[in-house]
């Protein structure tokens, strides 16, 4: 991966030299951040708000494949998947900590690429990098990011607040990230069989970007606030739509019904699924990594958002005994099952 490029051994800098080198460009931007990198601990001031904290772990060979994931994109995506959890609580993300486990194959230049992606995400989403750790790893690259955010106590949205007759809504479109992954995996296999063949990604830009460079939906949280809509329950779509619906239903002790024809699919997602012989609806239900927001709202709030093109009403909340169902385009009723990402599946 780095054979033909300039290589600087990380050991030349030492741990503290490495941290200083990587974090020099990161400046404090938020009022909530009192002290960032450079002391024994960061100092934060919640300013009377509730503090939201989320952590994600990304492991080489489990969550990403360096055969086709550029390091800069990996750094960017690692931040996004964490910010998404804060936005799913209806909060404002403000800080992250970044910890890396690095194998000996990673020179300084590779780590710099990861941090370029992290810096890009921090600048775009107004996030402060306030700490972290680095260590050697015998298991390849390990990235652990913790995100911290804030919200007024009465604005925090949990998974357990959905009420019967509420509308079930989702932002953006679904299934694209999963199909982007299928295309990348296909091209990897072709390359391994014949390294002379160039990857054929023409016309697949959107779904490739959905996989490699997702965007957490900070804009949806801001939009709902602007419309004076507080969701009754919310979750981000990281493991597939079906899985997330089941989470909301279980925590809220309710049933949910969605309509297949209402599930938002980008035309490229639909066409690529058909090309690969996959049902586009299955991609949305079970694919995962879309990082859209799935939420329920009171019917009274529908008139406030019915003209917004980036939020789709896909169903409604029912009583617990009705279970979680999907009404197909042919009007058949199917029970929803979670077949998305399993972190412990080998």
Domain boundaries, the chain: 10-151, 167-335
Phi-psi region of 69 (alpha: psi -120 to 50; beta: other; left: phi over 0): beta
Kindly report the CATH number that applies to the domain delimited by 10-151: 3.30.1330.10
| pLDDT value of position 346 | 43
Contact 209, 180 (CB under 8 A): yes
Q: How confident is the model at residue 88 (pLDDT cuts 50, 70, 90)?
A: very high
pLDDT of residue 228: 95
Confidence bin at 14 (pLDDT 50/70/90): low
Give residue 38's pLDDT band: very low, low, confident or very high (50, 70, 90): confident
Residue with tokens 């789709």: 312
Which residue did the predictor score with more confidence, 132 or 78?
A: 78
Binding residues: 40, 54-56, 63, 85, 115, 132-133, 159, 236, 238-239, 289, 341
> How does strand 92-102 pair with strand 128-136?
parallel
Mean pLDDT of 69-90: 98
Q: Which residues of 55-85 are buried (b: 16+ CB within 10 A; e: fewer)?
A: ebebbbeebbebebbebbbbbbbbbbbbbbb
Does the pLDDT at position 296 exceed 80?
A: yes
* Whether the predicted pLDDT of 2 surpasses 70: no
**pLDDT score of 344:** 41
Query: What mean pLDDT do residues 157-186 have?
Result: 97
Taking CA atoms, 320 is separated from 164, 237, 317, 336, in Å, by: 9, 22, 9, 14
Quote the DSSP letter at residue 184.
H
pLDDT at 13 over 70: no
Q: Which residues are annotated as a binding site for Mg(2+)?
A: 40, 54-56, 85, 133, 236, 239
Residues 233, 227: Cα–Cα separation, whole Å = 17
pLDDT-based confidence at 10, cuts 50/70/90?
Answer: low
* Stretch 74-93: mean pLDDT: 98
Instruction: Compute the average pLDDT of residues 139-164.
Output: 96
Whole-prediction pTM: 0.91
Query: Which structure tokens are listed for 245?
Result: 């619906």
264 pLDDT more than 50:
yes
Q: Which of the residue ranges 12-21, 78-87, 163-172, 173-182 would you say has the lowest mean pLDDT?
A: 12-21
The stretch 97-126 carries a mean pLDDT of 94
Q: What percent of the chain has pLDDT over 70?
A: 93
The rounded mean pLDDT for the chain is 91
Helix-strand-coil percent breakdown of the chain, rounded to 5?
35, 25, 40
Task: Show binding-site residues for substrate.
Answer: 63, 289, 341
CB atoms within 10 A of CB 225: 13
Give the residue-averaged pLDDT of 273-291: 96
Domain 167-335, second-level architecture? Alpha-Beta Complex (3.90)
Whether 341 shows a pLDDT value over 50: the answer reads no
- Identify the pLDDT of residue 202: 85
Q: Which residue has the higher pLDDT, 42 or 60?
A: 60
**Binding site residue list for ATP:** 115, 132-133, 159, 238
Report the pLDDT averaged over residues 193-210.
Answer: 89
User: What dihedral do alpha carbons 156, 63, 109, 75 form, nearest 10°?
Assistant: -20
Average pLDDT over residues 186-214: 91
| pLDDT classification of 221: cutoffs 50, 70, 90 | very high
- Taking Cα atoms as reference points, which of 258, 250, 233, 247 lies closest to residue 320? 250
| pLDDT of 286 over the 90 cut | yes
Given this model, what pLDDT does residue 12 score?
67
As given in the structure block, the two tokens for residue 89 are 């609580």
Give the HSE-up count for residue 286: Cα atoms under 13 Å, Cβ half-sphere.
11
């Amino acid at each position: 991966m780095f054979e033909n490029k300039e290589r600087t051994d990380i050991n030349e800098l030492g741990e503290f030299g490495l941290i200083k080198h990587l974090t020099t460009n990161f400046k404090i931007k938020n009022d909530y951040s009192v002290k960032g990198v450079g002391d024994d601990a960061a100092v934060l001031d919640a300013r009377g708000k509730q503090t939201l904290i989320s952590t994600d772990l990304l492991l080489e060979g489990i969550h990403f494949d360096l055969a086709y994931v550029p390091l800069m994109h990996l750094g960017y995506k690692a931040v996004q998947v964490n910010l998404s959890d804060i936005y799913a609580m209806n909060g404002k993300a403000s800080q992250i900590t970044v910890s890396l486990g690095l194998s000996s194959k990673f020179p300084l230049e590779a780590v710099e690429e990861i941090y370029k992606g992290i810096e890009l995400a921090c600048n775009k989403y107004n996030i402060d990098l306030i700490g972290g750790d680095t260590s050697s790893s015998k298991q390849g690259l390990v990235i652990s990011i913790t995100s911290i955010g804030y919200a007024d106590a009465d604005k925090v949205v949990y998974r357990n607040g959905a009420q019967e007759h509420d509308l079930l809504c989702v932002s953006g479109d679904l299934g694209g990230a999963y199909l982007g992954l299928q295309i990348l995996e296909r091209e990897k296999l072709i390359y391994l069989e014949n390294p002379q063949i160039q990857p054929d990604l023409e016309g697949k830009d959107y779904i490739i970007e959905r996989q490699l460079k997702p965007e957490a939906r900070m804009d949806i949280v801001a939009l709902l606030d602007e419309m004076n809509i507080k969701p009754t329950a919310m979750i981000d779509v990281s493991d597939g739509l079906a899985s997330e619906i089941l989470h909301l239903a279980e925590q809220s002790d309710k049933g949910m019904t969605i309509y297949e024809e209402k599930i938002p699919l980008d035309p490229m997602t639909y066409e690529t699924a058909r090309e690969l012989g996959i049902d586009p609806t299955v991609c949305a239900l079970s694919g995962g990594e879309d990082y859209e927001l799935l939420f329920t709202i009171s019917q009274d709030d529908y008139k406030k958002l019915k003209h917004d093109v980036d939020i789709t009403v896909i169903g409604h909340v029912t009583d617990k005994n009705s279970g979680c169902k999907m009404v197909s385009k042919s009007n058949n009723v199917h029970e929803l099952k979670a077949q998305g990402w399993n972190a412990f599946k080998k």
